[in-house]
Amino acid sequence: MATIQMRVRPEDLSQVPKSQERIPEPMILVIFGASGDLTRRKLLPALFHLRQANLLPERFAIVGVARRPLGPTFAQDMRAGIIESGGVEANDAKLDEFVSHISYFQLNFDDPSSYAGLKAELERIDKERNIGGNRLFYLATASEFFAGIVENLGAQGMAQAEHGVAEVLIEKPFGHDLDSARELDRRVNAVFPENQVYRIDHYLGKETVQNLLVFRFANGIFEPVWNRNYIDHVQITVAETLGIEGRGPFYEKAGALRDVMQNHMMELLAMICLEPPSSFEAESLRREKHKVWRAIHPIPVQDAVCGQYGPGIMGGEHVVGYRDEERVNPQSTAETYAALRLEIENWRWAGVPFYLRTGKRLKKRATEISIEFKQPPLLIFNRMATGNHCQEIQPNLLKIRIQPDEGIALRFGAKVPTSPSMAVCPVTMDFDYETAFGKSSANGYERLLLDAMLGDQTLFLHRDGVEITWALFMPILQAWAENKPDLFPNYFAGSWGPDSADRLLERDGRAWRNDLGR
């Protein structure tokens, strides 16, 4: 298929006004669960990039909190993590300056008595660095500790800053099901009111996810066709080649539906389907997202399928099946793949099927949204076709690549040159982020951390949104818990998932698009 590249003209780029970046007020960022992978691989590199871009306040401190006795080695380990994340030399003076803001405090999350010590330590740092009372508590621990930590912070009076602000930022999962999510919200909100709570879904920090709003609402040509009159169906795929990466105990409880579908994929769906918000402020955007989720027709249990990978070959290497992964039950029924069909019953989308799938150990890593448009009347081309058979003209297709190869491609038909019979060939206009703007090192967390420090909740979840999406999936989760619809394992590592997922689309005369990426 022919491809037309699209580029940004340097003169256009130079005319983009530099945004007036706001710098947060002086602040102590307290990371609970700081000895975990997330802090080292994502959070600290993101904070360092913010520092390099002069987006952190001059007076700030990062305090890692965890159970292990790490002491000063913590800051050095974070330094190594930043270097490993790339883009910085070990002898960079800026790195040393940044690391001088990091310290560690050892604490047992569920031991109330140790929180007084934490409070005293934060007050000491505050005085030393003249912070002025602002605190952002980042909960990156296992989810069972969230509520207890929040309550202990509350008991020590750390949820209401005497001067400045106190905010809590919570990593997913927000509960295990609807009831536990409600209970967590209740306990968190008993200490921190909703306007001090930041529930993070890192997908919302991705540039390409935010670009969905720009693509839809800053361009005049797409919105008129963005509805049931022109769109045939939509597919959303979050395919991973990785397995569970040593996270057995977590994944055994979560599974693909809870881990990715209920949160990241619902965000992608909302961004594609929402009505134009009146502004990009938290309240306005969240209201539109909630309207989309509320309009989803209850998903029949038979419209959802699950799978679990067995052994297979990936990149020429043999990989083990899920049940043979570390710390996984050899008879596990956790799903590593989930797919479903849903419909949104509102004026824009009624009758348009949405097919969503996510899985581990699939053939290719790709997060992509593909929007297939309805065919126009094609009779004239078929009459012109050579021979006895009609030519198959492919429908217009818009592919939005969230990652990797971030970009957007539009497929349309073009006349094959010199063909006397009006032969039509699909061609693609392709906008590629990296070619157009150069490589971005942002990992999503930069934007989200900065927004939280600035007190902007737009890209964070409200408790209502979390509860609406849980409610949507409860019947499926309950049905799967009682009776796994397939015999596991039911797909090979390195394949595109179980056959039952193909049948879900075959019923509608469609197939998954497996030509993902560029």
Site for ligand BG6 in 479-498 (CB under 6 A): none
Whose Cβ is closer to ligand BG6: residue 24's or residue 255's? 255
Sheet with 197-199, strands from edge to edge, namely: 102-106, 60-66, 27-32, 135-139, 166-170, 197-199
* Residue nearest ligand BG6 (C-beta atom): 259
Site for ligand BG6 in 348-367 (CB under 6 A): 367
**Cβ–Cβ contacts within 10 Å for residue 271, how many?**
24
Contact 304, 476 (CB under 8 A): yes
Whose Cβ is closer to ligand BG6: residue 135's or residue 206's? 206
Q: How far is the CB of 338 from ligand BG6 (least distance, A)?
A: 12
Q: Say whether 264 is catalytic.
A: yes
Q: How far is the CB of 408 from ligand BG6 (least distance, A)?
A: 18
Q: How far is the CB of 476 from ligand BG6 (least distance, A)?
A: 19
Binding residue for ligand BG6, selected from 259, 335, 406, 467, defined by CB under 6 A: 259
Give yes or no for residue 262 binding ligand BG6 (CB under 6 A): no
Site for ligand BG6 in 409-438 (CB under 6 A): none
Whose Cβ is closer to ligand BG6: residue 77's or residue 259's? 259
Q: How far is the CB of 124 from ligand BG6 (least distance, A)?
A: 35
Site for ligand BG6 in 148-207 (CB under 6 A): none
Give yes or no for residue 451 binding ligand BG6 (CB under 6 A): no
Going from the C-alpha of 306 to that of each of 123, 172, 400, 493, the distances in angstroms are 50, 21, 25, 14
Contact 243, 493 (CB under 8 A): yes
The values of phi and psi at residue 203, to 5°, are: -60, -30
Distance CA 165, CA 452 (A): 11
**Cβ–Cβ contacts within 10 Å for residue 385, how many?**
17
Sheet with 407-415, strands from edge to edge, namely: 2-6, 424-432, 407-415, 397-403, 366-373, 231-239, 354-359, 337-342, 304-307
Q: Token pair for residue 276?
A: 């134009």
User: How wide is the angle at C-alpha 95 spanned by C-alphas 90 and 100, nearest 5°?
Assistant: 125
Whose Cβ is closer to ligand BG6: residue 174's or residue 480's? 174
Catalytic residue among 264, 297, 318, 462: 264
Whose Cβ is closer to ligand BG6: residue 105's or residue 445's? 445
Distance CA 236, CA 265 (A): 8
Give yes or no for residue 240 binding ligand BG6 (CB under 6 A): yes
Q: Which residues does the annotation mark as catalytic?
A: 264
* Interface positions with ligand BG6 (CB under 6 A): 240, 259-260, 367
